[in-house]
Structure formats: structure tokens, C-alpha cells
């Protein structure tokens, strides 16, 4: 029974990782850069929704929408100001700039909202569900998280496979120059990718803080790194890979915490990642690229 409980909790936290990992993986696939500031966009989303709910006394739905809008704009702005000028240069240069953006967001949040931790009030009003005579507890947050991420994943899969923009995104990630020659506006496509990734980050921020209500300027960095790990775990650049990686990572983490040791869960999760990468160097669903001489 206990194992089932861990599995459910793992599925919930894993879905959040998966949503964040989608942002990482899409941006990596299309712009070939590690967007280290992605985790901090999550934090911004959480703060915006918090402010709308607490200071403006708006219902949670409005708060979520506001967070999505602000994060989308923020994501596009970051891309246009900090990453676009560096496109085509060394990937390390872009990585360092992304780190700079990450520092900037964290410190801006600290200036605006202070260092002190804020207690986030959950956006979920659903009652908890007890199964098997109360042996298993499923909170409203868990249910909402799992449903939301399932919807997000289905929508995103449909978007990338059916719509024109989605197809353009896949084309750009496959071969940027060829896509441009076919008349695809590469700049616009990359901007759309950042917009979607950031909108997903906003949703993830709301879900994350509803599940664990401690909100501070560094809230996003650890889940960000975890989700990045999940994206690599599933094969970076692959959308189904990010989903699978995120959920697996969450489940492994919760099982470790429950069955082995809470203190060593970090070491075990990262250990599993290393073993997977050593056995399958491009991640679970990553493409093997043949090297031509």
C-alpha cells in the first residue's frame, strides 16, 4: 500500500518535472541552447499568481492566466534581448548569458518581493480523496496536477504534429538552414517556442507552489535543475522523452524518499541518471546521431 502511495506522489511531482522539462527540451531542440534561466521563469510565474491572488484578491483562474501571460511575455523578451544577438555563436557564450539572466531574475525577484519566504496558498479547492480505508491519501493538488499535465502533454503533442507552427518548429529543430530556405521564419518560430516554454513554466510554477507552498526567489532553481536532468534523462530535444523522463524522475525520487532514504535521495536520483547516460549516452528516447567523417 505504501508503495502505491509513493507511486501516486511520484507521478504528481513527476508531472510537474515533465512540464518544466518540456520547456527545456523544446528550447534545446530548436535553439540548441541550455536555457538555465528556465527555472527562474517558474519562480516568476509563482510570484505573479501569488500577488494576483493575495493583493488583488482575484480568483485562482485569473491568477493562473495572469502568470501565463506575464511569463510568456518575459520568455519572449529574454529571448529577443539576451539570446537572439548571440545566435550562431559559441554555445558556451549563450549558456553564460542564460546564467546571467537567471541571476538577474532571482535578484530582481529578491528586490521586488524580498528575501523572506512567502506561504503560497494553493489554487486547488478540491477535497482530498481517501482510498482503501484511508490507507492512501490523494490530495486535490495531486489530482489537479496529474490532470493538468496530461492535458498539457496531449495539447502539445497535437500542436507539434498537426499545426503549421508546430510543424515549422520541428523543421527548425531538424535543420535550421533548410527550414529557412523553405520559407519558415526562423526568428518567429524560435520566439513561439520560448513563449510556449515560458507559459508551461508558469503553469508548473503554480502547480509546484500549490503542492509545496514555500515561495522564495530561489524556489525555481532546484526544480529547474531536476527538470533539466529529466529532459536529459529522456533524451534532450525529444518531447515524449521529456515527459517520460520527468515522470520517471519524480517516481524514482519519491520511491527513494519512501523506501531508501530521504537524505540521500539527491545522490540516488543523480546516480540513476548517470547510469542511464552511461548505458544509453543520448538518453532514453534520444536520437543517436551518426558521426560522419
Partner 1 sequence: MKKNIHSMNNPIRSLWNNKTRRTTFSTYAVVIVAFVIMQLLDSAGMLSYAMRGQLIPICVYIVLAISLNLVVGISGELSLGHAGFMGVGAFVGAVTSTALQGLIPDATLRLVFSMVLGGIFAAIMGLIIGIPVLRLRGDYLAIVTLAFGEIIRNIANNLYVGMDEKGLHFAFLSEEGLHMSDAGKLVMAGPRGTVNITPIATFLTGFILILITLFIVLNLVNSKEGRAIKAIRDNRIAAESVGINVMSFKLKAFVISAILAGMAGALYGLSMSNVTSVKFSFTTSIDILVFVVLGGMGNILGSVIAATILTLLPELMRPLADYRMIMYAIVLIVVMLFTWSPKLKGAIEVVTGNLKEWLGKLTNKKEVGTNG
Residues forming contacts to partner 1 in the complex (CB under 8 A) are 28, 34, 36, 82, 85-86, 88-90, 92-93, 95-97, 99-101, 103-104, 107-108, 110-111, 221, 225, 228-229, 232, 236, 261, 263-264, 266-267, 270-271, 273-274, 277-278, 281-283, 291, 293
Q: Give whichever of 61 and 293 is closer to partner 1, judged by the CB atom.
A: 293
In whole angstroms, the minimum distance from the beta carbon of 101 to partner 1 comes to: 6
Lookup result for grid cell 530556405? 181
Q: Give whichever of 183 and 281 is closer to partner 1, judged by the CB atom.
A: 281
Cα–Cα–Cα angle for 142, 234, 97, rounded to 5 degrees: 95
In whole angstroms, the minimum distance from the beta carbon of 278 to partner 1 comes to: 5
In whole angstroms, the minimum distance from the beta carbon of 136 to partner 1 comes to: 28
Indicate the SS3 state at residue 214.
Answer: strand
In the chain, at which residue ranges do the beta strands (DSSP E only) sit? Answer: 118-119, 129-131, 136-138, 214-215
Q: Give whichever of 108 and 150 is closer to partner 1, judged by the CB atom.
A: 108
Listing DSSP states for 101-158 in one string gives HHHHHHHHHHHHH-SS-EEPPPS--PPPEEETTTTEEE-HHHHHHHHHHHHHHHHHHH
Q: How far apart are CA 40 and CA 43, in angstroms?
A: 5
Q: How far apart are CA 233 and CA 210, in angstroms?
A: 26
Phi, psi torsion values for 217, nearest 5 degrees: -60, -20
Mention every residue, 6+ apart, whose C-beta is less than 8 A from residue 217.
Answer: 43, 106, 107, 109, 110, 113, 115
Instruction: From residue 20, give the alpha-carbon distance in Å to each of 4, 202, 221, 225.
Output: 24, 9, 11, 10
Q: Give whichever of 107 and 161 is closer to partner 1, judged by the CB atom.
A: 107
In whole angstroms, the minimum distance from the beta carbon of 181 to partner 1 comes to: 21
Instruction: From residue 123, give the alpha-carbon distance in Å to each of 54, 60, 83, 224, 245.
Output: 11, 5, 33, 21, 26
In whole angstroms, the minimum distance from the beta carbon of 110 to partner 1 comes to: 8
Q: Give whichever of 65 and 225 is closer to partner 1, judged by the CB atom.
A: 225
Structural contact between residues 47 and 26, judged by C-beta atoms closer than 8 angstroms = no
Q: Give whichever of 59 and 271 is closer to partner 1, judged by the CB atom.
A: 271
Q: Give whichever of 120 and 233 is closer to partner 1, judged by the CB atom.
A: 233
In whole angstroms, the minimum distance from the beta carbon of 258 to partner 1 comes to: 17
In whole angstroms, the minimum distance from the beta carbon of 15 to partner 1 comes to: 21
Amino acid at each position: 500500500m505504501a508503495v502505491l502511495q509513493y507511486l501516486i506522489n511520484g507521478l504528481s511531482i513527476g508531472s510537474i518535472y515533465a512540464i518544466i522539462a518540456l520547456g527545456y527540451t523544446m528550447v534545446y531542440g530548436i535553439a540548441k541552447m541550455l536555457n538555465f534561466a528556465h527555472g527562474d521563469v517558474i519562480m516568476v510565474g509563482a510570484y505573479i499568481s501569488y500577488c494576483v491572488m493575495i493583493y488583488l484578491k482575484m480568483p485562482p483562474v485569473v491568477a493562473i492566466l495572469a502568470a501565463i501571460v506575464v511569463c510568456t511575455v518575459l520568455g519572449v523578451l529574454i529571448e529577443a534581448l539576451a539570446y537572439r544577438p548571440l545566435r550562431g555563436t559559441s554555445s558556451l557564450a549563450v549558456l553564460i548569458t542564460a546564467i546571467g539572466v537567471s541571476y538577474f531574475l532571482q535578484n530582481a525577484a529578491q528586490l521586488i518581493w524580498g528575501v523572506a519566504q512567502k506561504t503560497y496558498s494553493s489554487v486547488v479547492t478540491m477535497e482530498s480523496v481517501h482510498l482503501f480505508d484511508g490507507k492512501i491519501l490523494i490530495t486535490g493538488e495531486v489530482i489537479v496536477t496529474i490532470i493538468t499535465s496530461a492535458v498539457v502533454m496531449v495539447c502539445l503533442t497535437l500542436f507539434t504534429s498537426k499545426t503549421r507552427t508546430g510543424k515549422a518548429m520541428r523543421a527548425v529543430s531538424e535543420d535550421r538552414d533548410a527550414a529557412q530556405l523553405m520559407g519558415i521564419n526562423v526568428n518567429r518560430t524560435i520566439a513561439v517556442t520560448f513563449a510556449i516554454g515560458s507559459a508551461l513554466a508558469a503553469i508548473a510554477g503554480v502547480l509546484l507552489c500549490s503542492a509545496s507552498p514555500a515561495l522564495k526567489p530561489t524556489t525555481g532553481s532546484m526544480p529547474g535543475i531536476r527538470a533539466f536532468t529529466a529532459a536529459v534523462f529522456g533524451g534532450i530535444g525529444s518531447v515524449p522523452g521529456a515527459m517520460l523522463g520527468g515522470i520517471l524522475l519524480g517516481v524514482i525520487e519519491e520511491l527513494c524518499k519512501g523506501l531508501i532514504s530521504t537524505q540521500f535521495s539527491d545522490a540516488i536520483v543523480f546516480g540513476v541518471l548517470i547510469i542511464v547516460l552511461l548505458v544509453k549516452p543520448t538518453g532514453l528516447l534520444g536520437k543517436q546521431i551518426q558521426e560522419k567523417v
